[in-house]
Amino acid sequence: SELEALPAADDPAEPEGESRGLLARLSGERGQTTVEFAGILPLLLIVVMLLWQIGLVGYTFMLAGHAAREGARELAIDTTDTRTDRPYADVAMEDVPKAWRKGAKVDRPEDATVRVALKVPVLVPSLKTNIKITSEAGTVIEDEPL
């Protein structure tokens, strides 16, 4: 019958002296996973850093667009533009994080347009890149103060 094909509980299927567990059978490969993980870890870190840098580029694009729109909103009601007083530029940079302010440039290429250029921060400081994201926003200048 079917039950006779199975060995008895106290009848070892393996000869004495040989281990029965899976880990014991793989004892010759102990540490193999650790070595493989250590080999792949630098590649994984590089991929994560590249993805993070791509995220920084996208975030910079979003920040530049937001800053240009905020500057254009302010320019619509206050067209003051002197060397010392540029309220549209101050408002544009108000919400930009500190890491993006270094090297940022806000100007007016036309009467009713604000342009914001932000440098993308680099994750690895020794890599000197000069990636700039520029965004423009236009507005309608109000004739009378609100």
Token pair, residue 21, equals 């567990």
Helices (H), 3-144: 22-25, 32-77, 87-94, 98-101
Report the SS3 class of residue 47: helix
Q: Is residue 104 part of a domain?
A: yes
Residue 4 maps to a domain: no
Q: pLDDT tier at 125 (50, 70, 90 boundaries)? A: confident
Looking at residue 15, its pLDDT comes to 57
Does residue 52 have a pLDDT over 90? yes
pTM, full prediction: 0.71
pLDDT above 70 covers a percentage of the chain that reads 77
Specify the number of domains making up the chain.
Answer: 1
Cα Rg for the chain, rounded, in angstroms?
A: 32
In this predicted structure, what is the pLDDT of residue 17?
A: 52
In a domain, 30, yes or no: yes
Q: How far apart are CA 29 and CA 18, in angstroms?
A: 17
What residue numbers bound the domain in which 72 lies? 17-138
* Residue at 11 is within a domain: no
The DSSP letter of residue 8 is P
User: CA-based angle 120:124:126, to the nearest 5?
Assistant: 105
Is the residue at 65 inside a domain? yes
User: Which residues partner with 106 through β-bridges?
Assistant: 116
State yes or no: pLDDT of 118 exceeds 90.
yes
Specify the pLDDT at position 27.
Answer: 61
| Residue 63 pLDDT level (bands cut at 50, 70, 90) | very high
- Maximal C-alpha separation, the chain: 102
> What is d(CA 126, CA 60) in angstroms, rounded to the nearest whole number?
20
Q: pLDDT category, 28, cuts 50, 70, 90?
A: low
